[in-house]
Amino acid sequence: MAAMTMPRRRPGRPRRDETRPTREVVLTAATALFARRGFDAVGLREVAAAAGVDVATVSHHTGTKAQLYDACFARVFAAEREVLQVAAERARQALDSGPAQARRALHDLVDVFVDFLEDRPETTALWLRRWLEPQRHAELDERYAAPLYRLVADLLTAAAAAGALVEPTPHVTVRSLVWAVHGHVVALAAGGGSQARQRREFRAFVHRFLDGLYGPVTP
């Protein structure tokens, strides 16, 4: 009786991670590629090779390249929204406890955002690639950036209405902080010097920034 043989994998194709759903594996690979090289320079075959699957599998799980690109942003947006919504809700609840507690909660909210991007530098790289062509794929900003900007801007507006702080232009403050954190993540990725020191110094800077806007956190 002839022995059964398993079909051979193509030479050079990485073995797919069988512990995660195929769609997640594909999106992880695609996010890394789009973040590194941008939309035009990445093809579905390259994504398939990086994910250890064939092109038909990529298309089955994500559709066209444009749909795959959108799905990559949707994925990082969902992860970011999950952590920010929890921190923002804590901050909103702190508004009733007075200015000091409100400002402490804002410190915590910014810390959560910094931690998120430090742990996921591909998120920063993905957005920076998109922003190199501001008018192209602009709908991604409205779907996957604007909701989080509004989440925090609305929180600042509510804090101002409660008398916890003075904030005449919350949208400017939010965008300024977002860009500062993305710049920090880029500096970390560039290497050089102690990353632990850079992380400490940036965290201290962001806290000073908030204190300059709204007043220091008191014990």
Select from 165, 169, 180, 172 the least CA-distant residue to 216. Answer: 165
- Provide the CATH number for the domain around residue 44: 1.10.10.60
Same domain assignment for residues 142 and 90: yes
Same domain assignment for residues 28 and 132: no
Do 132 and 140 touch, CB atoms closer than 8 A?
no
Proportion of the chain above pLDDT 70, given as a percent: 91
Same domain assignment for residues 128 and 159: yes
Same domain assignment for residues 85 and 47: no
* 3-state class (DSSP) for residue 126: helix
Domains held by the chain: number: 2
Q: 180: burial class by Cβ within 10 Å (0-12, 13-18, 19+)?
A: middle
Domain annotation covers residue 219: no
- Residue 92 phi/psi, 5-degree rounding, is -65, -40
Domain annotation covers residue 99: yes
Is the pLDDT score of 1 beyond 90?
no
- Residue found under tokens 């779907």: 143
- Provide the CATH number for the domain around residue 96: 1.10.357
Domain annotation covers residue 90: yes
**Residue 217: what pLDDT?**
80
What's the mean per-residue pLDDT of the chain? 90
DSSP 120: -
Same domain assignment for residues 81 and 166: yes
Domain annotation covers residue 4: no
Domain annotation covers residue 7: no
Residue type at 69 in one-letter notation: Y
Same domain assignment for residues 77 and 56: no
* pLDDT tier, 191 (very low <50, low <70, confident <90, very high otherwise): confident
Same domain assignment for residues 76 and 164: yes
Helix axes of 44-51 and 55-62: crossing angle, nearest 10 degrees: 100
Same domain assignment for residues 34 and 107: no
Do 88 and 148 touch, CB atoms closer than 8 A?
no
**Residue 19: what pLDDT?**
61
Contacts of 30 (CB under 8 A, 6+ apart): 42, 47, 50, 51, 58, 62, 68, 69, 71, 72
pLDDT tens-digit readout, 97-152: 999 999 999 999 999 999 999 999 999 999 999 999 889 999 999 999 999 999 99
Same domain assignment for residues 58 and 90: no
Select from 17, 126, 125, 14 the least CA-distant residue to 69. Answer: 126
**Residue 124: what pLDDT?**
97
* pLDDT tier, 208 (very low <50, low <70, confident <90, very high otherwise): very high
Q: What radius of gyration do the chain's Cα atoms show?
A: 21
Q: Please state, in angstroms and rounded to a whole number, the distance separating the CA atoms of residues 55 and 45.
A: 6
**Residue 5: what pLDDT?**
42
**Residue 117: what pLDDT?**
97
- Residue found under tokens 């409660």: 162
Domain annotation covers residue 206: yes
Same domain assignment for residues 82 and 112: yes
- Domain extent, residue 91, equals 72-214
**Residue 16: what pLDDT?**
53
pLDDT tens-digit readout, 20-77: 799 999 999 999 999 999 999 999 999 999 999 999 999 999 999 999 999 999 999 9
Same domain assignment for residues 115 and 24: no
Domain annotation covers residue 2: no
Mean pLDDT (whole number) for 194-206 = 95
Domain annotation covers residue 97: yes
Select from 185, 178, 209, 210 the least CA-distant residue to 199. Answer: 185
* pLDDT tier, 18 (very low <50, low <70, confident <90, very high otherwise): low
Is the pLDDT score of 7 beyond 60?
no
Same domain assignment for residues 207 and 161: yes
Q: How many CB atoms lie within 10 A of CB 6?
A: 5
* 3-state class (DSSP) for residue 167: coil
Do 188 and 115 touch, CB atoms closer than 8 A?
no
Residue ending a domain, choose from 41, 63, 85: 63
Select from 65, 60, 62, 77 the least CA-distant residue to 39. Answer: 65
